[in-house]
Amino acid sequence: MYILKNAMHNLVRNRGRNLMIGGIVFVIIVSVVTALMINNTAGSVINDYQTRFGSEVRLSPNQQKLQEEARQNSVDGMMRLSVPQIAPEDLIKYGQSDYLQKAVYDVSANADSDDLIAVNADLGPGGGPRMMRMGPDSTGMPSGDSGVPGGGIQYYFRMTNAFDEFLNGTRTLDDAYDTTDFQGRFPDNINECLVSSDLMDASKLSLGDTVTVTSRMRDMSSTPENEIITEINWDLLIVGVYSDLTQTDNDLNNLQSAYEDRRNEILTTFDTITANMNDNPAGIRVNATYYLKDPDQLEAYTAELRNKGLSTVWDVSTDSAAYNRIVKPVVALKGITLTFVIIVLIFGAIILALLASIAIRERKYEIGVLRAMGMKKLKVLSGLWTETLAITLICLILGLGVGTLIAQPVTNILYQQQLAAVEESTVNQFPGPGGPGGMIQGQGRTVSGFMLPGGSSDVQPLQKLDVSLNGLTILEIVAIAILLSSLSGIIATQRITKYEPIKILMERN
Amino acid sequence: MEKDQITQNADTSQNVDTSQNVLMLDNVSYRYDGAKKPVLKNLNAAFARGKIYTIVGKSGAGKSTLLSLISGLDVTTGGDILCGEDSLNKIDRDKYRAQNIGVIFQGYNLLTNASAVQNIVLSMNISKSPEKDKKAYAYALLERMGIDRETADRKILKLSGGEQQRVGIARALAHNPEILIADEPTGNLDKETENDILEIFQNLAHTANHCVIIVTHSRRVTSIADVVYGIKDGMLAGYCSHGTGPEKV
Ligand SMILES: Nc1ncnc2c1ncn2[C@@H]1O[C@H](COP(=O)(O)OP(=O)(O)O)[C@@H](O)[C@H]1O
Ligand SMILES: [Mg+2]
């Protein structure tokens, strides 16, 4: 007890020296707290993205194989490169695997209807069959091109099962059309749908009306000489109305067709759109997103897909481009902070060791006096340790506080630098998709006949890294603080065991 | 046995009950590390309760060295020092220093950054003094040594040599040790305080029945000694003194 009291007295008695040691420990702790906070935050961001993008499987057509195929089929010197489609039932088959955590299907169909008058109908229909034209001098980079000569089929409407916008609030159920016997709701049975309020008004519809919608597609086997058109019809019951805020004024001013206007989207269920696809798959596009339970099982999953009949034209991969784009700056930052921590700790330890050594030398006489009075070595040591620990503890508390305060601004500066560096090196490698609007919505659409290389570049790197102090960081800091104070303690121990009190006192006398 | 002989010597030479002996030198020799000649050679002596001993000798004779051995700060290179039945070479010398003896060092050896009263309280803590209010006790003790409260609260660094000496004496007495060892304790004191201190020593030995061992040059100090030892050429010679000056036993 008196050891503790005496240690506290000593802290005050030797303020000058203690302030110097404390100052150095403080600087070390602030630096380490800041760096560790950044490091650990970066670590968890990397982990998060690793599971998100490392496990998201992407099926993309192998461009080389596609071109070879097109060259072989070329008749008039013009290569017609038709992007292969995976049949919806195959996509569903691929989704039934033990390797997968889940499979998400997004389905859409292009449609027309005599019962509906499209919003912005005067812009005319749009969309059309996707054919990729590749000239002989092609760079190999296909571009979405709807203007296929020979008359593509065009549409006013699009059916989809994507309800994501209701989650982020850009679409909401509109109760203005509710009547006493029909209140707007989401579709939960087959052949029920939601339409936009604008489409309701343009077509003069009420809740509970049924509309007939038709999807027409040119069959895969069609040739310009022999057009084969297939058709699917749906009788859809309007069970709800949505208000649409997904488009800005600028978007609306730049619309090329009514088809592009998202207010012409008819929202219905997966089962509704795919109900007849077995007879007539060509009219429907199914996008599937697969999530592996473990990113390392990609190879095994690929083998399973090949077994199930997936053509080698399709590459199976995880979304490494998006992963790299997002994670690279974070990884770089993590590396910097780790190096920083190591350097600070090495130099800090050396400085502290020297200081401890000087301090003990300075206190040799004091130690001699205590020993002469009969204080045991162990007690002298525990007194010194108590002093060091107290200094460390104070610095730890102050350091954690200050470190937490400056960590975010420091992160912002460092992260912006990394972001700029990575953006510069990747911006030309991953051009955005050239496909028409309305085709790719939400995030993580990975499997699609329209997928272009680097197609997930809509996934942007984090613009800001929010650092925070977590339990792990605190634990690490405490461990480092204990280690630092132990270092001084060990040096003190070693010195004290070496000197006998009489020798110390004699030197003095 | 050597020890028996010493005991007998002490017995016959000093005419006291051997059971009063608290400390005995048994053929003690000491040589500093690396020194050619030993400082102390085959010393034999006994120190008893209730008596004041002074050790005299020229500067460099080895008086301080002997005290450091007696006070358990160093160990003999030959022979033995016995505290009661136990050899100082074998017992827990930290505990011995803390509880059995009080040492007034020639160089005071106080904690210079702490106040006088803190020095004494710390010493009492180390020796596990049963005193309840250690601080009050320390102030009172210092008062007896002529250190007032204001001075007692000052850092040792800011005290004069004489004041430091008094604090050193107070500290040595703080835990009421059975053996008090002092190295030139009155060197820096004026006559009046010296008298006070000597009175304390006398009370300690003759009233409280403690053993007081003092290294000194002062005739006044020697005059109160019951036994005077002289060190010369590393050897110890015993004198008896009863206020009439050194007298061979
Ligand atoms: N640490 C030491 N190492 C070597 N010799 C020493 C040491 N301390 C003292 N001496 C020598 O031992 C002798 C006795 O010293 P000391 O006991 O201090 O004498 P005194 O106290 O009688 O004046 C002296 O010759 C001194 O030089
Ligand atoms: Mg001396």
Instruction: Look at residue A83 in the predicted model and tell me its pLDDT.
Output: 64
Candidates B94, B96, B109; nearest CB to A369: B109
Strand-strand pairing, B52-57 and B40-48 = unpaired
Distance B168 CA to ligand 1 centre (A): 22
Instruction: Look at residue A149 in the predicted model and tell me its pLDDT.
Output: 34
Chain B residues within 8 A of A376 when measuring between CB atoms: 94
Q: How far is A501 from chain B (nearest CA, A)?
A: 7
Query: Taking a C-beta distance cutoff of 8 angstroms, is the pair B222, B56 a contact?
Result: yes
Q: How far, rounded to the nearest angstrom, does the alpha carbon of residue B235 sit from its chain's CA centroid? A: 19
Sign, Cα dihedral of A259, A260, A265, A270:
positive
Instruction: Look at residue B177 in the predicted model and tell me its pLDDT.
Output: 92
Distance A11 CA to ligand 1 centre (A): 35
Residue spans of alpha helices (H) in chain B: 2-14, 63-70, 93-95, 116-126, 134-144, 149-152, 161-173, 191-202, 219-223
Beta bridge partners of B227: B53, B240
Residue of A188, A413, A205 lying closest to A196 (CA atoms): A205
Give per-residue pLDDT as tens, B161-175: 889 988 999 999 999
The Cα A130–Cα A140 span in angstroms is 17
Distance B236 CA to ligand 1 centre (A): 16
Contact (CB<8Å) A13/B114: yes
Candidates B68, B94, B110; nearest CB to A369: B110
Candidates A2, A14, A508; nearest CB to B125: A2
Residue of A128, A130, A134 lying closest to A70 (CA atoms): A134
Three-class SS state of B240 = strand
The residue of chain A with its CA nearest to that of B113 is A13
Three-class SS state of A306 = helix
pLDDT less than 70: residues of chain B = 1-19, 239-249
From first to last of its 509 residues, what are the pLDDT tens digits of chain A?
Answer: 888 888 998 888 888 888 988 999 899 999 999 998 888 888 888 877 776 666 788 888 888 888 887 777 776 666 666 667 787 778 888 999 999 888 888 888 888 999 999 999 999 888 754 443 333 333 333 333 333 333 467 889 999 998 888 988 899 999 999 998 899 999 989 999 999 999 999 999 999 999 999 988 776 666 777 777 778 889 999 999 999 998 988 889 888 899 999 999 999 998 898 887 655 555 677 778 888 887 778 899 999 999 999 988 898 988 766 677 777 788 888 888 899 989 999 998 898 888 888 888 888 888 889 999 999 988 988 898 888 889 999 999 999 999 989 988 888 888 888 777 766 665 444 333 333 322 322 333 333 333 333 334 455 667 777 888 888 888 988 998 888 888 888 888 887 777 777 777 766 55
Contact (CB<8Å) B122/A508: no
Query: Taking a C-beta distance cutoff of 8 angstroms, is the pair B29, B69 a contact?
Result: no
Residue pairs between chains A and B whose CB atoms are closer than 8 Å: 65
- Within 10 Å of residue A10's Cβ, how many Cβ atoms? 21
The residue of chain A with its CA nearest to that of B177 is A373
Chain A residues within 8 A of B113 when measuring between CB atoms: 10, 13-14, 366
b/e map A331-354, b = 16+ CB within 10 Å: bbbbebbbebbeebbeebbeebee
Chain A residues within 8 A of B184 when measuring between CB atoms: none
In the predicted model, what is the mean pLDDT of chain B? 86
Contact (CB<8Å) B109/A14: no
Contact (CB<8Å) B105/A372: yes
